[in-house]
Amino acid sequence: MRLIDKFFQQEIEIFGVKITFFDVAFFAVIFALGLIFRLSLYDVVSGDYFYAFADWMKECHQAGGFAYLGIKPGVSDASTFDYNCMFQYIIVLLHYIGGGIDDMYLVKTVSVIFDYVCAITIMRIAYNVTNRSVHKALMAFAAVMFLPSVVLNSAAWAQNDSIYTAFVLLSLLHIIKGKDNRAFIYFALAYSFKQQAIFFMPFIIIMWLKNKVKIRYILWVPVIHVVAMVPAAIAGRKWGDLLGIYGNQVKMFSSLTMNYPSIYTILSSENKKGTRQVLVSAATIATVIIFGIIAYYSYKKAYEITYKHMITLVLFTAELCCFCLPAMHERYGFLPEILAVVYAVLSYKGLTICTALQVLTLMTYSRYLFKSNITASNLVVLSMVMLGIILWLGYDLYKQMSMGERVNA
């Protein structure tokens, strides 16, 4: 055996997990390369940054920091902020720690930090669901570090979907570990950052119906959601304004789809505003009915719930949310796209799904970020591919449930 092999195969123990020096070296190299990859995109100025985040940082500077929290958005040019106040706290924090650093770099760095939280959490999930396989967990970490959807979202787009997704993934990790209290605290934090965390809710409901989650801990969601608004209330915002943020966000968009390859790409984008608003309400109700059917079937069917079933179920329900709900941005598939990495390390067939999702995302992201010539007719084709992916995941779920039923018989 070579001397270098002897060195690489030396074992150490970190947090109770035995790993080799080669594992540590691999983690360190991927960690560094992932950062270099993101820094190479830091000078990309997206429309979202130019027309939103840049203004919010400027407004915060003009308000002097903390006072920015008390200005009601939309009343004057002093505040155009339309996110929940949790991200506004980050804007204020960046104001105080900026130190002359370009605002865009600061905003992107926050998202990049949570990229790493997502990657490490995916690594932990993969470790727990693959019978404590260190090499599969590290490969999952590496994949997340270089996923197009993850890198472009934070480092190029300056968006922050990695923040709420990190907390959703931590919630899933603790559900897998049977720690329901922590799971709902993390889910509450995710929802307090962005309402897209609600895509995780169908999974939670089904797990509750199957007696795998104690639903009483869901009280953390309203508690943390309200407590998170206290600093903004102290700064001067009215409670009615703060509690109505998510409701106002829903009313902001009347388009049936915003570049996401969903079922609504087959409907004309030329619908009158009133017609679109009616369809939005009807489509939302239809989506709830679809999930009601899925929950009913899951509850009535006796089967063994495995780790693979949990991962597949989150993927299926989250993608179905994005596909069936109206007014979806291309970024809203961030959670299932990143979790598909775990699905891929569980089975070779899962690698196909993970890759297909990234190809679809790269095409829709490029349409916005780099003005690629993806037309509306192209989106229809992409929607058909997405439907195929969802049907495959649904079929895989059905097979797992049928096999689990035979095991229990």
Examine the pLDDT at 409 and tell me if it is beyond 50.
no
Residue 217 falls within a domain, yes or no?
yes
Sign of CA pseudo-dihedral 291, 292, 295, 296:
negative
Inside any domain, residue 357: yes
- Tell me which amino acid residue 134 is: V
99: tokens are: 């130190």
Is the dihedral angle over the CA atoms 365, 368, 369, 372 positive or is it negative? positive
Has residue 33 been placed in a domain? yes
Pairing of strands 11-14, 17-20: antiparallel
Kindly state the percentage of the chain with pLDDT values over 90: 80
CA dist 400 and 390 (Å) reads 15
pLDDT of 308-342, one tens digit each? 999 999 999 999 999 999 889 999 999 999 999 99
pLDDT digits (tens, 9 = 90+) for 77-117: 899 999 999 999 999 999 999 888 999 999 999 999 999 99
Tally the domains of the chain.
Answer: 1
Establish if 10 belongs to a structural domain: no
* Tokens (6 digits) for 56: 């919010």
The answer to whether residue 7 is domain-embedded is: no
In a domain, 339, yes or no: yes
Distance CA 47, CA 33 (A): 27
Q: 379-406, pLDDT tens digit by residue?
A: 899 999 999 999 999 999 999 999 866 5
CB 344 within 8 A of CB 139: no
Q: Could you tell me what percentage of the chain is helix, strand and coil, using 3-state DSSP and rounding each to the nearest 5?
A: 75, 5, 20
Residue 185 belongs to what H/E stretch? helix 180-193
Name the burial class of residue 325, with classes exposed (0-12), middle (13-18) and buried (19+) by CB atoms within 10 angstroms of its CB: buried
Answer left, alpha or beta for residue 345, where phi above 0 means left and psi between -120 and 50 means alpha.
Answer: alpha
Using N-to-C axis directions, what is the helix angle for 334-346 and 134-146, rounded to 10°? 150
Give the residue among 142, 159, 214 at the shortest CA–CA distance from 184: 214
Question: How far, in Å, CA of 39 to CA of 342, rounded?
Answer: 26
Is 140 a member of any domain?
yes
Count CB neighbours of 43 within 10 A.
12
Over residues 16-57, the pLDDT tens digits come to: 899 999 999 999 999 999 999 999 999 999 999 999 999 999
Range of the domain at 261: 15-403
- Asked if the structure places residue 8 within a domain, the reply is no
pLDDT band at 174 (very low <50, low <70, confident <90, very high): very high
